[in-house]
Amino acid sequence: MSVFADVPQTAPVAVFKLTQDFNNDPFPIKVNLGVGAYRTDEGQPWVLPVVKKVEKVIVHDDRLNHEYLPILGLPEFRSASSRIVLGESSPAIKENRVGAVQCLGGTGALKIGAEFLRRFYNGNNNTRTPVYVSAPTWENHNAVFASAGFVDIRSYKYWDSVKRGLDFVGFLADLESCPEHSIFVLHACAHNPTGIDPTQDQWKQIAKVMMRRKLFVFFDSAYQGFASGNLEKDAWAVRHFVSMGFEMFCAQSFSKNFGLYNERVGNLTVVARDADNLKRLLSQMEMIVRTTWSNPPSQGARVVAITLTSTQLFSEWKNNVKTMADRVLLMRAQLKAKLQALGTPGIWDHITEQIGMFSFTGLNPKQVEYLIKEKHIYLMASGRINMCGLTTKNIDYVAQSIHDAVTKVH
Ligand SMILES: Cc1ncc(COP(=O)(O)O)c(C=O)c1O
């Protein structure tokens, strides 16, 4: 009898399973719209030219080695990351109350932040503090907070499926009715999976209620630059909350905007009340990291730090991000135009109204199943598609297939 005999089998992670099914599909014409990564118009992964360049610089720099990094990570990476989200001239940075923890991707930043909050926020080890995530959200949010020990994970209203837009009234009502001190995970921009963000005016109202109701803001910034193609604009919400005086966390991922998915480059920016609070808080973060991964990997962090701290490389990176954002915009415009030209029933304006990498198509689970089984087009059961999975070569096939799904399957 094995000591592992009682280990239950658990379900595979949907997005990885989808890619596996796609890879195993022998059909010659197939499209993967499920993957959460950028693809070129040739359907290939893209190593950003600026990343290639910086990697060469790193290889030839004899001053670098493979010694351990400090527990909290590469100092220049941490500060450059915080500056990119909070802004060069952020008063909070000038007041020495911003700190950071280099983490393993955005997921690692959420995890370290969640572990800290469970230990020290709203009382010690208060696992009952409600954690609110948007309905719907990136599927890992619930699990990360649950695995940190939080037992009361709830959702706040976000998506209005009839309007195919933001349920702002429902969102505000949840902010008003939740217990004080609840934690709210907010997508900084390019909401995954809906592609719908609050407007600046709506963010202002959200911030006001959250301040009055003493709610904790935990931003998740996984797509800075992807929403609008402009880094400043995509950080607007985070900066607004900082300007209101919130103490808050912001998990940053450089997986998408640097294309450094497997290097696991993330940062947890912490905005504290003052330098003294920050010092104590970072000392505890250090203990949490020490028992989690001890210290982080250097390669991706070096790439990001070198890029962000050089005027020339920074400008090259911004162009690379714009290249990706523009391709997504082009695919959005083309898909909508093709569906309209086909006379596909329904209104397809949401495809161009949504932003970021994903589109929440509004296709129902049966239509999704039809697309996978009959057309070999792989997408998430929620109807979410990655716009980068579309190319000028497969877009006609995808549009016609969506048309067939909508007209044949109800
Ligand atoms: C909303 C959101 N947060 C966080 C992440 C995690 O990113 P990373 O791969 O850097 O852990 C993702 C990745 O898909 C995401 O969509």
Distances (CA, A) of 201 to 36, 158, 183: 29, 16, 22
Instruction: Calculate how far, in angstroms, residue 181's C-alpha sits from the geometric centre of ligand 1.
Output: 25
pLDDT confidence tier of residue 164, bands split at 50, 70 and 90: confident
Q: What is the pLDDT of residue 283?
A: 98
- Nearest-atom number in ligand 1 for the CA of 107 is 11
- Nearest-atom number in ligand 1 for the CA of 254 is 10
pLDDT confidence tier of residue 153, bands split at 50, 70 and 90: very high
DSSP H helical segments within 149-220, as ranges? 168-177, 200-212
Q: What is the pLDDT of residue 229?
A: 87
Q: What is the pLDDT of residue 251?
A: 98
In testing the pocket of ligand 1, which one of 192, 194, 238, 264 has its CB within 8 Å of the most ligand atoms?
192
**Is 348 annotated in the active site?**
no
- Structure tokens of 3? 């000591």
Instruction: Calculate how far, in angstroms, residue 20's C-alpha sits from the geometric centre of ligand 1.
Output: 19
Residues flanking ligand 1, CB < 6 Å: 36, 105-107, 138, 187, 192, 220, 222, 253, 255, 266
Catalytic option among 174, 234, 256, 338: 256
Q: What is the pLDDT of residue 189?
A: 97
Q: What is the pLDDT of residue 163?
A: 87
The residue nearest atom 12 of ligand 1, judged by CA position, is 222
Distance CA 286, CA 292 (A): 10
pLDDT confidence tier of residue 170, bands split at 50, 70 and 90: very high
The chain-wide mean pLDDT, for the chain, equals 96
> Which whole number is the average pLDDT over 75-90?
97
Q: What structural domains and CATH numbers belong to the chain?
A: 14-46+326-408 (3.90.1150.10), 68-309 (3.40.640.10)
Q: In this model, does residue 36 exceed pLDDT 90?
A: no
**Is 138 annotated in the active site?**
yes
- Nearest-atom number in ligand 1 for the CA of 141 is 3
CB 135 within 8 A of CB 189: no
Q: What is the pLDDT of residue 226?
A: 87
Rounded to 5 degrees, φ, ψ at 31 are: -140, 135
Q: What is the pLDDT of residue 381?
A: 92
In testing the pocket of ligand 1, which one of 104, 140, 189, 218 has its CB within 8 Å of the most ligand atoms?
140
Q: Give pLDDT tens digits for 99-143.
A: 999 999 999 999 999 999 999 999 999 999 999 999 999 999 999
Indicate yes or no: pTM above 0.85. yes
The upper half-sphere exposure of residue 226, i.e. CA atoms within 13 Å in the direction of its Cβ, equals: 33
Distance CA 357, CA 229 (A): 11
**Is 208 annotated in the active site?**
no
> Which whole number is the average pLDDT over 159-180?
95
Instruction: Calculate how far, in angstroms, residue 75's C-alpha sits from the geometric centre of ligand 1.
Output: 23
Q: Give pLDDT tens digits for 179-218.
A: 999 999 999 999 999 999 999 999 999 999 999 999 999 9
Q: Which of 346, 34, 32, 342 is nearest to 161 (CA)?
A: 346
Catalytic option among 46, 138, 159, 348: 138
Instruction: Calculate how far, in angstroms, residue 35's C-alpha sits from the geometric centre of ligand 1.
Output: 12
- Nearest-atom number in ligand 1 for the CA of 264 is 10
> Which whole number is the average pLDDT over 219-231?
93
Q: What is the pLDDT of residue 2?
A: 97
Instruction: Calculate how far, in angstroms, residue 222's C-alpha sits from the geometric centre of ligand 1.
Output: 5
In testing the pocket of ligand 1, which one of 38, 138, 223 has its CB within 8 Å of the most ligand atoms?
138
- Nearest-atom number in ligand 1 for the CA of 191 is 1
> Which whole number is the average pLDDT over 214-242?
95
Q: What is the pLDDT of residue 35?
A: 85
Instruction: Calculate how far, in angstroms, residue 61's C-alpha sits from the geometric centre of ligand 1.
Output: 31
Q: Give pLDDT tens digits for 240-287.
A: 999 999 999 999 999 999 999 999 999 999 999 999 999 999 999 999
Instruction: Calculate how far, in angstroms, residue 408's C-alpha sits from the geometric centre of ligand 1.
Output: 35
Instruction: Calculate how far, in angstroms, residue 112's C-alpha sits from the geometric centre of ligand 1.
Output: 14
- Secondary structure (3-state) at 342: helix
In testing the pocket of ligand 1, which one of 223, 255, 261 has its CB within 8 Å of the most ligand atoms?
255
Distance CA 308, CA 317 (A): 8
Burial 76-109 (b: 16+ CB within 10 A, else e): ebbbbbbbbbbbeebebbeeebbbbbbbbbbbbb
